[in-house]
């Protein structure tokens, strides 16, 4: 069970705020006001670019031999589709066999005790003392119309450890901009009243200037930390995407700088990373910017975005087949302590038979399925094939398999993208495998 976040930290925070108040106003080089309000969000404009790619996790001969080289560059999906980065066109084909996973289904996986030799260097005692491996449950919270995040959080707060609301965006001049509905105080108060942490999700504008320019990076870090403290948040979830592999060291430095400012205050620094299964990936691959070892050293938690194995621009196939997920997890375990890893779980899928391969949420599809719900025993993921539809998605059975993998490997927990998209059975599986955090 997570400890309440309304704590004696307030005295430390007050002193820090007084110190920060003496600093000059942080503004971009061109005088851009910090925390400028962006245009109001909508289903088509507010989704963060959560890139994923089957090729990202390609340890050349280990991931799904029939699918390992299928290209894909997709955005972190919402219920509605968005323009996505261009991908190489791949002819549609029937799903091909995927390499068998070393991990069986949820009902047969036996939890394993994590190695005692693994270090949690830098993890704040306040954040880990009340947690055992496999208990931290993070829910991404979005505010576009119809997302259902607010209702989902209200219904399942007791099963969550923290939420990561999509509230901030850092621009290339170092300025911090607000996203969402401007209800930071209300949502934070609601979460704190339930004893849950609030980690502001911060995205980038797709440019790496703040990563390669030390002065801009310092400005961005200061603006972000000031916002976290001013809004009485419990930390951040850094989700920087569409950055070049050459910016990897800059991203490492940014995360380390943020952690160095937040950790003394007992606040969390978490980071989302794209899927990879090897240190040797092609130059230009979107996941090349994520140095698992370096980020795992600095961050308190690292969210593995173990999706999209398939999506727009690829042949039909699982969003996150268990073989693909396992390879990413196994690589991460070699690069960082298990208890720092949060396994990303997708609450969505794709309809490959529809023009543009639209995103579908598990909640909506399973509420009114367009055909019989099938199960792929190799990918361990749900599929619906009917006239005009070829849907792959994560249902509650698939969720359970992934939860059991996280528990068996002694991971820190799981992270759901996003609250309101998932199969309602997600929460039953969560309690069955992890219990209440």
CATH of the domain at 332: 3.20.20.80
Give the number of other CB atoms < 10 A from CB of residue 55.
23
- Over residues 312-345, the pLDDT tens digits come to 999 999 999 999 999 999 999 999 999 999 999 9
Instruction: Give ∠ CA 308-309-311 in degrees, rounded to 5.
Output: 65
Q: Are residues 240 and 256 in contact, defined by beta-carbon separation less than 8 angstroms? A: no
- Tell me, yes or no, whether 96 lies in a domain: no
Q: Are residues 343 and 118 in contact, defined by beta-carbon separation less than 8 angstroms? A: no
Longest dimension (CA), the chain: 65
Report which of residues 5 and 359 the model is more confident about: 359
pLDDT score for 226: 98
Of the ranges 3-7, 90-94, 297-301, which is most confident? 297-301
Report which of residues 85 and 188 the model is more confident about: 188
Instruction: Give ∠ CA 359-86-236 in degrees, rounded to 5.
Output: 65
CA pair distance 191, 76, nearest whole angstrom: 24
* Overall number of domains in the chain: 1
Q: Which of 103, 94, 49, 98 is nearest to 69 (CA)?
A: 98
Write the CA distances from 244 to 96, 224, 290, 300, 364, integer angstroms.
32, 22, 10, 24, 35
- Tell me, yes or no, whether 299 lies in a domain: yes
- Tell me, yes or no, whether 341 lies in a domain: yes
The chain-wide mean pLDDT, for the chain, equals 77
CA pair distance 402, 369, nearest whole angstrom: 23
pLDDT score for 306: 97
- Tell me, yes or no, whether 11 lies in a domain: no
Q: Are residues 105 and 91 in contact, defined by beta-carbon separation less than 8 angstroms? A: no
- Tell me, yes or no, whether 279 lies in a domain: yes
Domain that holds residue 55: 33-60+78-84+138-434
Instruction: Give ∠ CA 103-326-347 in degrees, rounded to 5.
Output: 100
pLDDT band for 181, please (50, 70, 90 cuts). confident
pLDDT score for 131: 35
Over residues 173-183, the mean pLDDT reads 90
Report which of residues 98 and 23 the model is more confident about: 23
pTM over 0.85, yes/no: no
Work out whether strand 268-273 and strand 176-178 pair parallel, antiparallel, or are unpaired.
Answer: unpaired
- Tell me, yes or no, whether 6 lies in a domain: no
Helix axes 149-156, 184-193, angle to 10 degrees: 20
Over residues 419-433, the mean pLDDT reads 97
Distance of CA 432 to the CA centre of its chain: 23
Three-state secondary-structure class, residue 212: helix
- Tell me, yes or no, whether 22 lies in a domain: no
- Tell me, yes or no, whether 17 lies in a domain: no
List the alpha helices (DSSP H) in 28-141.
125-128
Per DSSP, what are the bridge partners of residue 343? 304, 414
**pLDDT higher than threshold 50 for residue 67:** no
- Over residues 228-257, the pLDDT tens digits come to 999 999 999 999 998 999 999 999 999 999
């Amino acid at each position: 069970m997570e400890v309440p976040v309304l704590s004696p930290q307030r005295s430390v925070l007050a002193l820090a705020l007084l110190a920060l108040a003496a600093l000059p106003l942080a503004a971009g080089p061109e005088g851009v006001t910090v925390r400028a309000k962006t245009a109001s969000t909508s289903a088509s404009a507010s989704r963060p670019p959560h890139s994923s790619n089957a090729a990202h996790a390609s340890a050349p001969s280990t991931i799904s031999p029939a699918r390992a080289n299928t290209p894909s560059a997709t955005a972190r999906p919402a219920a509605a589709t968005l323009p996505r980065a261009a991908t190489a066109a791949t002819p549609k084909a029937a799903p091909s066999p995927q390499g068998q996973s070393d991990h069986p289904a949820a009902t047969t996986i036996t939890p394993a005790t994590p190695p005692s030799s693994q270090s949690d260097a830098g993890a704040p005692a306040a954040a880990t003392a009340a947690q055992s491996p496999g208990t931290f449950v993070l829910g991404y919270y979005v505010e576009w119309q119809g997302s259902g995040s607010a209702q989902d959080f209200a219904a399942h707060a007791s099963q969550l450890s923290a939420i990561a609301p999509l509230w901030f965006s850092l621009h290339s001049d170092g300025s911090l901009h607000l996203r969402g509905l401007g209800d930071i105080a209300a949502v934070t108060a609601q979460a704190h009243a339930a004893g849950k942490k609030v980690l502001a999700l911060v995205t980038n504008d797709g440019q790496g200037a703040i990563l390669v320019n030390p002065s801009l990076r310092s400005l961005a870090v200061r603006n972000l930390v000031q916002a976290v403290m001013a809004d009485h948040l419990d930390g951040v979830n850094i989700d920087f995407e569409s950055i070049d592999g050459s910016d990897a060291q800059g991203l490492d430095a940014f995360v380390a700088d943020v952690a160095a400012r937040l950790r003394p205050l007992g606040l969390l620094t978490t980071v989302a990373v794209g899927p990879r299964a090897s240190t040797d990936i092609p130059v230009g691959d979107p996941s090349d910017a994520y140095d698992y070892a370096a980020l795992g050293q600095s961050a308190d938690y690292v969210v593995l975005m173990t999706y999209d194995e398939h999506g727009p621009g690829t042949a039909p196939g699982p969003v996150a087949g268990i073989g693909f997920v396992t390879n990413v997890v196994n690589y991460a375990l070699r690069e960082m302590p298990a208890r720092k890893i949060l396994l990303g779980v997708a609450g969505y899928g794709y309809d490959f038979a529809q023009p543009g391969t639209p995103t579908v949420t598990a909640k909506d599809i399973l509420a009114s399925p367009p055909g019989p719900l099938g199960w792929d025993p190799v990918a361990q993921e749900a599929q619906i094939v009917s006239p005009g539809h070829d849907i792959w998605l994560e249902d509650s059975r698939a969720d359970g398999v992934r939860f059991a993998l996280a528990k068996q490997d002694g991971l820190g927990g799981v992270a759901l993208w996003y609250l309101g998209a998932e199969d309602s059975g997600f929460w039953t599986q969560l309690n069955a495998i992890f219990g209440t955090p």
